[in-house]
């Protein structure tokens, strides 16, 4: 797998207490605005280590990231082939040097101003997750997510979390690396497996309500297309079975 690294952060800023890690695939229309929003909302108040983990995009994403790196200090992995959402997070974590990391999607669905809500809880929980109180996703996706989350919570005796799969999570970088490296089954639902493994390992998990917005690029291809649901559901059930077997639950 051919990869190229960009780093305009280390020489410009050097160190930061918090990193924002974004796994990215085909987000040419959204990534610049997403990064700029985080830079304005967070980077203007404290040093911010951006880590962009690009995952074999076929649009103009790579060029957009290169242009961004000339304006905003950041680190980026540019990959020529797909490694998946989980692979993007794992590879991105290898570049993070900050004590804490916020892992979030790059499609503009989360308001960076909500960062401060979870940042203020960082000493109370090992993992702080943004709970999408009013999800902007389509009905079928919300239903699918809720059904599987209920199954996950029941199968693994999870605490009564409101939004397991929310891609807006803050934790110490060492915690993120420890848990992410163990995740290997739920390729279409990384955060379900991540929180199961976190809970089983004894990490505390807290939630706080955050806003949720429609994707910045409404035309982009997403994983959860209606006609893909049966195949995805079957894959998730198989993954669930393997995880239960591994954890003896």
Specify the CATH number for the domain of residue 243.
3.90.550.10
Given pLDDT bands bounded at 50, 70 and 90, which one contains residue 218?
low
Task: Indicate whether 198 pLDDT > 80.
Answer: yes
- 28 pLDDT more than 50: yes
Tell me the CB-side half-sphere exposure of residue 208, using CA atoms within 13 A: 16
pLDDT at 81: 87
Decide if pLDDT at 143 tops 50: yes
Which tokens is 45 given? 């108040």
Question: What pLDDT does residue 140 have?
Answer: 66
- Res 220: pLDDT: 42
State the total domains in the chain. 1
Write out pLDDT tens, residues 91-105: 999 999 999 999 999
Domain that holds residue 50: 3-247
Query: Tell me, what's the pLDDT at 87?
Result: 93
Helix or strand (DSSP H, E) at 120: none
Task: Tokens 């893909």: give the residue.
Answer: 228
At residue 221 the predicted structure's pLDDT band, cuts being 50, 70 and 90, is: very low
- pLDDT of residue 181 exceeding 70: yes
More confident call, 77 vs 143: 77
Q: For residue 229, what pLDDT is reported?
A: 65
Question: In sequence order, what are the beta bridge partners of 131?
Answer: 209
The whole model's pTM is what?
Answer: 0.90
Average pLDDT, the chain: 89
Among the ranges given (34-43, 144-153, 179-188, 195-204), the one the predictor scored with the smallest mean pLDDT: 144-153
Task: State the chain's maximal CA–CA distance in angstroms.
Answer: 50
pLDDT at 227: 66
Residues with Cβ within 8 Å of residue 46, at least 6 apart in sequence = 16, 17, 18
- The confidence band for 2, taking pLDDT boundaries of 50, 70 and 90, is confident
Give mean pLDDT, residues 13-29: 94
Contacts 24+ apart (CB under 8 A), 212-215: 212/109, 212/110, 212/132, 212/133, 212/134, 212/135, 212/136, 212/137, 213/108, 213/109, 213/110, 213/111, 213/136, 214/109, 214/136, 215/30, 215/107, 215/108, 215/109
Among 117, 169, 108, 116, residue whose Cα is nearest residue 136: 108
Tell whether the model's pLDDT for residue 1 goes beyond 50. Answer: yes
Average confidence (pLDDT) over 226-244: 81
- Residue 83, pLDDT above cutoff 70: yes
pLDDT at 178 over 60: yes
Cα–Cα distance for residue pair 21/19, rounded to 1 Å: 6
**What's the pLDDT score for residue 186?**
86
Q: Within 13 A of 141's CA, how many CA atoms are on the CB side?
A: 13
Residue 217: predicted pLDDT: 63
Ramachandran assignment for 183, one of left (phi > 0), alpha (psi -120 to 50 degrees), beta (any other)? beta
Residues across the chain: 249
Residue 133 has what pLDDT? 83
CA angle 135, 140, 142 (to 5 degrees): 30
Q: Which two tokens stand for residue 55?
A: 């995952």
């Amino acid at each position: 797998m051919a990869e190229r690294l960009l780093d305009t952060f280390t020489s410009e800023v050097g160190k930061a207490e918090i990193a924002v890690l974004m796994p990215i695939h085909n987000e040419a229309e959204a990534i610049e605005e997403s990064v700029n929003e985080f830079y304005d909302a967070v980077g203007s108040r404290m040093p911010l280590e951006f880590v962009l983990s690009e995952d074999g995009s076929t649009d103009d994403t790579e060029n957009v990231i290169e242009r961004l790196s000339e304006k905003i200090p950041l680190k980026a992995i540019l990959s020529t082939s797909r490694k998946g959402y989980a692979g993007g997070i794992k590879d991105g974590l290898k570049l993070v040097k900050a004590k804490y990391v916020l892992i979030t999607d790059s499609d503009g669905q989360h308001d960076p101003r909500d960062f401060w809500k979870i940042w203020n809880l960082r000493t109370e929980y090992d993992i702080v997750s943004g709970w999408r109180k009013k999800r902007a996703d389509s009905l079928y996706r919300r239903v699918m997510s809720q059904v599987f989350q209920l199954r996950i919570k029941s199968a693994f005796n999870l605490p009564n979390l409101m939004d397991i799969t929310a891609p807006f999570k803050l934790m110490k970088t060492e915690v993120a690396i420890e848990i992410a490296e163990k995740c290997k089954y739920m390729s279409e639902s990384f955060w379900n497996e991540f929180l199961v493994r976190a809970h089983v390992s004894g990490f505390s998990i807290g939630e706080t309500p955050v806003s949720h917005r429609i994707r910045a690029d409404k035309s982009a291809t997403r994983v959860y297309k209606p006609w893909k649901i049966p195949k995805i559901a079957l894959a998730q059930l198989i993954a669930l079975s393997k995880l239960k077997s591994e954890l003896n639950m």
